[in-house]
Structures are given as C-alpha cells and as structure tokens.
Structure 1
Amino acid sequence: MSITAYQHNVTVQFCFPDNNLSCVKEVRTGTGNIFLFILLSFVSVCTVFLNLLVIISICHFKQLHTPTNLLILSLAVADLLVGLIVMPVNIMGQRDTCWYFGNMACIVVLVINNLSMIASLCSLTFIAVDRYIAVNDPLSYSIKITVSKTSVFIISGWFLSLLYIIIFLYFNENMLPSLIMIRCHGECVMYIKYPWMTVDLIVTFVTPCSIILILYSFIFNVARRQAIAVRSVMNSMANRKVAKVSFTSETKAAKTLGIVVCVYLACWIPYYISSLSFESLSSFSLLWIVFTWLVYFNSFMNPLIYAIFYPWFRASVKNILTCRIFQS
C-alpha cells in the first residue's frame, strides 16, 4: 500500500508498492518544477542539435578532415552523448526519483555518463596540446601532427577513459550487479569511497586543468610576442593600418583564450569543490543539481566556443540547413 503526501509540490510514494525494500518515490510537481524541466529539456535538445551540426560538418566535408577538426569531432561526439543520454536521464531523475530499468541499465548509464564527461575533458586537453604545437612550432606542425597520428591519440584517449571508468566503478562497488550497494529497490546512484574521490579529483580535474591552463598561457604569450613583432615591423614601415589590424588580432586571441579557460573552470570547479564534501550534500539537493548541470552545460558551450566562431562552421551549417549537402 502506497503512502501519498503533498508538501512543497512534491508527491511522495513508493517506487514498487508491492516490495518491502522499495525506495521512496518523489514526484516533483508545480509550476516552478515544470518550467525547470522544460528549460533543461531545451538545453538538452540544443546540445544534441549543435553537436550534431559539428559532427555532420566535419564528417561530410573532406576539406575539414584536418587534425584539429578531428579533435573537435571527438569533443562533439562526447558532448553529443551528454545531450542525448546523460541529460535526459538526469531530467527524468529530477522529475521522478525512481529507477525502473534494472541494475544492468543503471551500470550502462553510469559508464556512459562518466565516459562522456572524461572523454570531453580529454578532447579539450588534446585541443590545447594541438594549438600549442601549432603556435609554438608552426613550420613543422604538419609533420608532427597528422590525421593518422591524431586518430590514434583520439582512440587511445577514449580507450583509456573507458578503462579508467571501469576501474573506478568496480573498486567503488558500482560495476557488477552483485556488488552494487543498493539501499532500496528503485535507485540508480553511484557510490564513491572518499579515497577514490581524491584520485578522481586529481585524474579528471587537477591534471587536465593544469595542462590546459599552462598550455594556453604559453599560447597567449607566443601569440602576443608575434603580434608585437609584426606591429613593430609595420610601425617602422609607417603602416599604421596594418599595425592596428595586428593589435586587433592580439585582442581577439586573448578574448578567445579567456573564454575557453573561464568557461571550463566555471563549469567544473563548483562541481569538484562540492563533491569533496559529498557527505553533507544530497544528490537531489538544489545546490548539487545546479553544480551537476553546470558540468553538463559545458557540453552545450563547447560547440559554440570551438566551432561556431570558425567561418567554415558557419558555411557548412548553411549548407546543411538548406539541404545543399545532398547536391553533388
């Protein structure tokens, strides 16, 4: 027999009324919750749509088959998984706290959830390395970085990300159905032991964050030195117009790198800081939901930062939306 109560727009009952070990079911209703679900669903749809545009553009046009674009493609695939699977599952969990699909489906969702997020971070790191080599050693860039080498790095990155997730879930007793720590039937929650929380913090945040910050600082300094050199040459030639263009390029480069780093840090720092005190945070608390969706929102922002600002992307999107890609 289920028990139902109405308080603060939350309907409380049981996930499986006939099971004595059933979890408590919370169904969030009310105008505010409905608006939140619509907003999150819109973000999910936009994330899928934008990343699909990136994937179709790079896969369809052979002119875009470059090492850098392959890295952007890998990033878009990871972010597509976030928008296509991770976000909808999270939205359903916020609407109805029960999990009805069994332990194996829960394991698959946990693997995809963590794999997509870590693969996205891995792709961001590879993009930073690629841009550093391109700016620091442009003459030998085409020799050092090729499509085949980049493909090997991308496959290796995805494989290592999957291997890390399997090890992480297994040693936290989340991997096998017989090892899953189920407090009640109807939940799909990832349990993390505190020592592994520290390991995860180092592997998936501190290390890639440090690499990205260091490389982008080098990129900015090199770009600034090159801009100053060009500007000094043009000033000596009394060509103020070209010097002004050089200064504008330097400013745009600084803004672009600033956006990349700030969005990355803004999306991930609150999540990992709060995860260190996970014992005092409920997985359904408002603060935890906000921090989790900040991480997901990064997958929405990545195609905007890494692709939409490129002229080739605007041109390819125009061809896709007008169905010109079906013409010879």
Structure 2
Amino acid sequence: MSNWGVTDAYNQTIQYCFPNNNFSCTKNTKPGAEYIIVYIFISAVSMFTVFLNLLVIISISHFKQLHTPTNALILSLAVADLIVGLILTPVQGIKLIEPCWYFGEIFCSIFPLIFYVVITASLGNLIIISVDRYIAVHDPLRYPTRVNNNRAVLSIVVNWLFSCIYSFIILYDSLFYLEGKHTCIGECQLFIKLGYIITDVFVTLVTPCCVIVSLYLKICFVAKHQAKHLNSVTDKKARSEKKAARTLGVVVIVYLLCWIPYYIAALTLGQDSGDSLVINIMYWIVCMNSCMNPLIYAMFYRWFRISAKYILTLKIFEPSSEYFNLFPEEKL
C-alpha cells in the first residue's frame, strides 16, 4: 500500500514528506494561493537583500575613494548580510510554510551553524562600526593614526573568528549529538539548552545593545557640544557628526525591533519549542535585519547613490572608472 497520503476526519489531506519511506514525517497540505504568495514574498526579500548588499560590496571594492577603514567594516557587514540573503533568508522562509526538511541531514546540521556564525558576525560588525564612528566624532584629529586599514582588517578577522568559535560552542550538542532528536525522516529541529539561550541573550542582545546605545549617547553629547561652537570651518564637520549620530540611532531602533521579539519567544517557549512556527517567524525577522543594514549604512550616504548609478549604468567598465569622483561637493 502506498503511503502517499491519508484523509483525516475533517477531510484534510495529510501527506508524507517522502511518500516511499515508511519512516517519513507527515505534513498537512495548504492552499495553493498561500504557497504562491509566501514564496513570492520570500523571493522578493531575498533578492532585494542580495541586490543591495552586492551594490555595497562592488562599490567599496571597485572605487578607490571608498578604500577607507570605515568602509572596510561596512564591506564586512555587507558580506555577512549577502550570505543571509543568499542562504539564510530563503531557507528560513521556506521553513515557514514547508513542514518538511528536504535539504538532507548534513545541511540540517550545518544550517544552524551558518545561521549563528553569519548573524553573530553581522552583530559584531555593527559594534565595530559604532566604535569606529565614536572615535571619528570624539577624537577626529587622532582618528587617522588610531584607525587605519590594517587595524580595520584585523578587527574584521577577529570578529569572524569569534563568531565561528562562539557559534560552534553554542551549537556543539546539536552538531554532534543528534541521536534520538529527530522522530521521523523529513524533520529538522534545532535544540539548544536553556542555559545556552540565556548566554546567547547576553552575548548577542544585552552586550551589543549596551555598547551601541552608550556609544550613540556619547556621539549625541559630543555633537550637541560641538554644535554650540560652530563656525564656517567646522559647520560641515558638525553636520557630518550629526549624520553619524542619526544613523546610529536608526541602527539601534532597527536592531532592537529585529532581535527582541526572537529572544522573547526563545525564552518564553524554551528549547522544547523545537522548530515551532513562532520561532521560525522570529528567525526570519532576524534575517530581515540584513535587508535593512545596507539601507541604513549605505543608502543614507550620497556616495552610495552615485556609485550605484555608475554600477547600474555599467560605467564601472570604462577605463579608470575606479578613480571616478564619488564626492562631487569636494571638487574644486
């Protein structure tokens, strides 16, 4: 007898994830319109995230004027967010409507590790960028000597190494002790000890929030203090500092909106929730933060709009295009 599907008392068709396997998980069918709408939305968000972050990566990599320590940090953030758009957002979105896991047991183990490494690295990049902006505003005269490309690259490497080690520790049990955790074929659930969840709250929510918020408040204080002593020479610099403060303010708001709902759900439901719909939705909201980052850190700046125009009109293929001026207001 084929185990393709059965019908329950409410005349709803219950199918199997893998019809030819007696150990397959079952799934409830959903209306076709729901599938189509959700898949279109997931695809649109994923492509938008990839598109924006590719623009950032190409801009900073190609144009010489953008080869600065700050932009190197933004480049690292864009790479992390690009991985989110390419891998995490589509897979996490599919998990919202597909009750079965079709990507195999190996990827089931690797996917949470990729998720944690990339998301943690993205958060680390946000902190480093906040520190960089604070130094630039608080000590602008010594900024070129305190922050250079080599130190920026070193901070990026340390950030990614920490993200890998931290994620490996948090997910150690899920990676190497999977026996008995999956009840049927087609199931992929993430189990994390409650102690690790609490630790994760402090590492990826409380600590980053404290650092970013405190730096943001200090930048606002410095900008306000300098605004009282403006003159024709410092006016442009003051506007730049206010812009940095405003950008960090948006970062704080978006960061909290994306992460707080996830941790509320994780601490409320605990590890026994497995891959519940609520947890999957919260994971996907976290992924949405990677779509917002390029808007916050790039589209607020005129150089990004100019470089994006050069890229989209294919002018970057012109000779010496890497030396194009992206700051026309500085041209004398």
Q: TM-score, normalised by structure 1?
A: 0.87
Deviation at 1:318, TM superposition (A): 0.8
Q: Distance in 1 between matches of 2:248 and 2:195?
A: 34
Deviation at 1:26, TM superposition (A): 3.8
Deviation at 1:53, TM superposition (A): 0.4
Deviation at 1:162, TM superposition (A): 0.6
> Alpha carbons of 1:293 and 1:7: their partners in 2 closer, same or farther (altered >3 Å)?
farther
Deviation at 1:99, TM superposition (A): 1.6
Does the Cα contact within 8 Å between 2:190 and 2:275 map onto a contact in 1?
no
Deviation at 1:125, TM superposition (A): 0.5
Deviation at 1:27, TM superposition (A): 4.2
Does the Cα contact within 8 Å between 1:9 and 1:30 map onto a contact in 2?
no
- Tell me what 2:325 maps to: none
Q: Distance in 2 between matches of 1:135 and 1:9?
A: 65
> Alpha carbons of 1:196 and 1:290: their partners in 2 closer, same or farther (altered >3 Å)?
same
Specify the code of the residue in structure 2 equivalent to 1:305: I
Instruction: Return the structure number with greater relative CO, CA threshold 8 A, min gap 6.
Output: 2
- Tell me what 1:273 maps to: 264
Deviation at 1:2, TM superposition (A): 3.2
SS in structure 2 at match of 1:186: coil
Alignment map for 1:51-130 (pairs within 5 Å): 51-130=53-132
Alignment map for 1:1-328 (pairs within 5 Å): 1-5=3-7, 12-170=14-172, 173-176=173-176, 179=179, 181-230=181-230, 255-279=246-270, 283-285=275-277, 287-328=278-319
> Alpha carbons of 1:142 and 1:184: their partners in 2 closer, same or farther (altered >3 Å)?
same
Q: Distance in 1 between matches of 2:9 and 2:291?
A: 34
Q: Distance in 1 between matches of 2:10 and 2:273?
A: 20
Deviation at 1:41, TM superposition (A): 1.5
Does the Cα contact within 8 Å between 1:174 and 1:180 map onto a contact in 2?
no
* RMSD of Structure 2 on Structure 1 (CA): 2.7
Does the Cα contact within 8 Å between 2:77 and 2:126 map onto a contact in 1?
yes
Q: TM-score, normalised by structure 2?
A: 0.86
Deviation at 1:17, TM superposition (A): 3.3
The number of equivalent residue pairs is 315
SS in structure 1 at match of 2:174: coil
- Tell me what 1:239 maps to: none
SS in structure 1 at match of 2:160: helix
> Alpha carbons of 1:6 and 1:121: their partners in 2 closer, same or farther (altered >3 Å)?
farther
> Alpha carbons of 1:12 and 1:22: their partners in 2 closer, same or farther (altered >3 Å)?
same
> Alpha carbons of 1:291 and 1:273: their partners in 2 closer, same or farther (altered >3 Å)?
same
Q: Distance in 2 between matches of 1:9 and 1:253?
A: 59
Q: Which stretch of structure 1 is more off in the superposition, 201-210 or 119-128?
A: 201-210
| Identity across the alignment (%) | 48
> Alpha carbons of 1:213 and 1:180: their partners in 2 closer, same or farther (altered >3 Å)?
farther
Q: Spell out, residue by residue over 1:120-176, the C-alpha distance to the aligned partner (whole angstroms, 9 max, x if none).
A: 101000001101111111111111111011101101100110111111111xx2112
Does the Cα contact within 8 Å between 1:227 and 1:246 map onto a contact in 2?
no
